[in-house]
Amino acid sequence: MSSATILLVNGPNLNLLGVREPEVYGTTTLADVEALVQRVAAEAGYAVRAIQSNHEGVLIDAIHDARTTCAGIVINPGGLTHTSVVLRDALTGVSLPFAEVHISDVYERESFRHHSYLTDVAAVHVVGEGIDGYARATRELIEYINAH
């Protein structure tokens, strides 16, 4: 296992960052997010492997693969947050600590966004801090990994 690698997972529609609802998500692109997480992780001596997919099974396969190659996961599951028991099962099944991050404050949006299948099993939970939330989630996850 590479104890110095973080898997960055971005779920459905996050490939549209920068163009999708900029009033909610801003104008920062997914490539910018990935670069930010890589910079923050590198400061602590960690590498980052990033994946984005609009397909749940692809994300689950990447999480399964991380079991033997990564120390933890930073995930913005997008809409799967509110619907996917199988994503939760994949994350708990690999026994890696993970940080759940959301760009917008899901608790100030539509009521269906208030429930997350991941929050109660996440080591770190960051909501509503915009793109900067990825940096905080990465730092806090690395602190958690280093402490355990």
Secondary structure class of 34 (helix, strand, coil): helix
Which residue's structure tokens are 């080591």? 123
**Is the pTM above the cut of 0.75?**
yes
125 is catalytic: no
What CA–CA distance (Å, rounded) separates 71 from 7? 8
Q: Which residue range(s) make up the domain with 25?
A: 5-114+122-147
**What integer pLDDT is reported at residue 2 of this predicted model?**
44
Residue 114 has a pLDDT of 64
- The reported pLDDT for the residue numbered 1 is 38
CA–CA gap between residue 117 and residue 133 (Å, rounded): 19
Residue, of 23 and 48, whose pLDDT is higher = 48
Binding residues: 76, 82, 89, 103-104, 113
Which one, of 40, 15, 54, lies nearest residue 133 by Cα?
A: 40
117 is catalytic: no
Q: What is the pLDDT of residues 73-118, one digit of tens each?
A: 999 999 899 889 999 999 999 999 999 999 988 766 667 666 788 9
Q: One of 25, 46, 117, 134 is an active-site residue; which one?
A: 25
Question: Which single residue is written with the structure tokens 């163009």?
Answer: 19
Structural contact between residues 9 and 51, judged by C-beta atoms closer than 8 angstroms: yes
Given the residues 46, 64, 102, 144, select the one marked as catalytic. 102
Length of the chain in terms of residues written: 148
Return the CATH number at 68.
3.40.50.9100
**Residue 130 to residue 115: CA distance in whole angstroms:** 19
User: What are the structure tokens assigned to 139, written together?
Assistant: 């730092």
Q: Is 24's pLDDT higher than 80?
A: no
At 20 the three-state DSSP class reads coil
Instruction: State the total domains in the chain.
Output: 1
Q: Which pLDDT belongs to residue 117?
A: 83
Task: Give binding residues for substrate as ranges.
Answer: 76, 82, 89, 103-104, 113
Q: How far is residue 86's CA from residue 57's CA, in Å, rounded to a whole number?
A: 9
Of 15-24, 25-34, 52-61, which range is least confident? 15-24
